[in-house]
Amino acid sequence: MSSVEEFRAEIRGWLKTHLSGSFAALKGRGGPGREHEAFAERLAWERHMAAHGWTCVGWPEEYGGRGATIEEQIAFHEEYALADAPARVNHIGEQLLGPTLIDHGTEEQKARFLPPVRAVEELWCQGYSEPGAGSDLAAVRTRAVREDDAWVVTGQKIWTSLAHEAQWCFVLARTDPGSRRHAGLSCLLVPLDRPGVEIRPIVQLTGTSEFNEVFFDGARTDAANVVGAPGDGWRIAMATLGYERGVSTLGQQVGFRRELDALVALARRNGAAADPDIRDRLTRAWAGLEALRAGALRGTDPSAAKLYWSHWHRDLGELALEVCGPAATLAAAAPYELDDWQRLFLFSRADTVYAGSSEIQRNIIAERVLGLPKEPRP
């Protein structure tokens, strides 16, 4: 048995043993559009994972991880999804902040911030998008001014996932007042429990609130809490976005497979599969998911991968309502209770917008991957 197979067997056995008892009820809970589900219980589960060494498996051992290879990380995420384990609450800290600090942080920052992430004692959110600066991240207007031993942050962030549950936020802010676009930005680590920070949940189409507006009005963070050099924020931000589209997406694809398999089963039960058009679209969905997995294993460009999976998942949501039929247009119960297929349809509308809109991804692919002329800009 290879080391990867042994690693896969180890995590599979651990999940079978530990995702039981009080934790068994968490199977399938949480995830996009459903982050409100059993949050406290999922947090307890993830701390249980940490106590047994199953968080941050890809981090180097010196920082509390297992030093897992890429192949082992893929195995971990796939087995976690196959076990129908609950959605992770610490994804942003573990998958985004942690690798950023490991590669670009100071030794003091690593010592202060990495252990609480690995132990799931401090949760993080990502302060990038703003009104008028979402996919166009270089248009950030949130500013930070150095005052003695602190940075003072003023501005607004939006679509900030799980900010209402987080204790910290890594914020992209303009620290050079005369700078424009990519220059003069810095990545700051900002506590959310201090004066000058206000968090307002945003009600989504699903009726839930996992995104937030975050307002900074003179919020302070220590001067040492800048990742990289002041003014180097664009490079740090791009590195973080690269981690965001890493191996954890393989687990996401296992979730997609479960959704597709369930939809095929529903189409067979309710007779929708008798429609040749429905059969064709289900087959195309299967083929698309196979292509998505092959591309991920091969190392598809992150922008191309994001463009492809987001449209695939949005199309699956539309197909789900076609399979469900006219009744899918009605809420499952008053006042606004949705079933899983309705929630999939509504939330997947955002897939092509968050983490970089499809329009922006197409520009990146055209200009940076294919080397085509840049889009004219005023």
SS (H, E, C) the chain: CCHHHHHHHHHHHHHHHHCCHHHHHHCCCCCCCCCCCCHHHHHHHHHHHHHCCCCCCCCCHHHCCCCCCHHHHHHHHHHHHHCCCCCCCCHHHHHHHHHHHHHHCCHHHHHHHHHHHHCCCCCEEEECCECCECCCHHHCCCEEEEECCEEEEEEEECCCCCCCCCCEEEEEEECCCCCCCCCCEEEEEEECCCCCEEEEEECCCCCCCCEEEEEEEEEEEECCCEECCCCEHHHHHHHHHHHHCCCHHHHHHHHHHHHHHHHHHHHHHHCHHHCHHHHHHHHHHHHHHHHHHHHHHHCCCHHHHHHHHHHHHHHHHHHHHHHHCHHHHCCCECCCECCHHHHHHHHHHHCCCCCCCHHHHHHHHHHHHCCCCCCCCC
* 345 contacts 321 by C-beta, under 8 angstroms: yes
Q: What is the pLDDT of residue 181?
A: 86
Q: What is the pLDDT of residue 378?
A: 66
Average pLDDT on 183-210 reads 93
- 296 confidence band (pLDDT: 50, 70, 90): confident
Q: What percent of the chain has pLDDT over 70?
A: 97
Query: Is the pLDDT at 55 greater than 90, yes or no?
Result: yes
From residue 358, alpha-carbon distances to 169, 349, 362 in Å are 25, 12, 6
Query: Is the pLDDT at 135 greater than 80, yes or no?
Result: no
Query: Is the pLDDT at 327 greater than 80, yes or no?
Result: yes
Virtual torsion, Cα 145, 146, 151, 156, nearest 10 deg: 10
Average pLDDT on 78-103 reads 92
Encoded amino acid at 231, one letter: G
Q: What is the pLDDT of residue 154?
A: 97
- 238 confidence band (pLDDT: 50, 70, 90): confident
**Average pLDDT of every residue of the chain:** 91
Of the residues 244, 259, 318, 359, only one is catalytic, namely 244
Query: Is the pLDDT at 235 greater than 90, yes or no?
Result: yes
Q: What is the pLDDT of residue 228?
A: 93
Distance of CA 318 to the CA centre of its chain: 22
- 248 confidence band (pLDDT: 50, 70, 90): low
Query: Is the pLDDT at 207 greater than 70, yes or no?
Result: yes
**Catalytic annotation on 244?**
yes
Length of the chain: 378
Query: Is the pLDDT at 250 greater than 80, yes or no?
Result: no
Query: Is the pLDDT at 61 greater than 80, yes or no?
Result: yes
Q: What is the pLDDT of residue 184?
A: 92
Task: Report the range of poorest mean pLDDT among 10-19, 139-148, 217-226.
Answer: 139-148
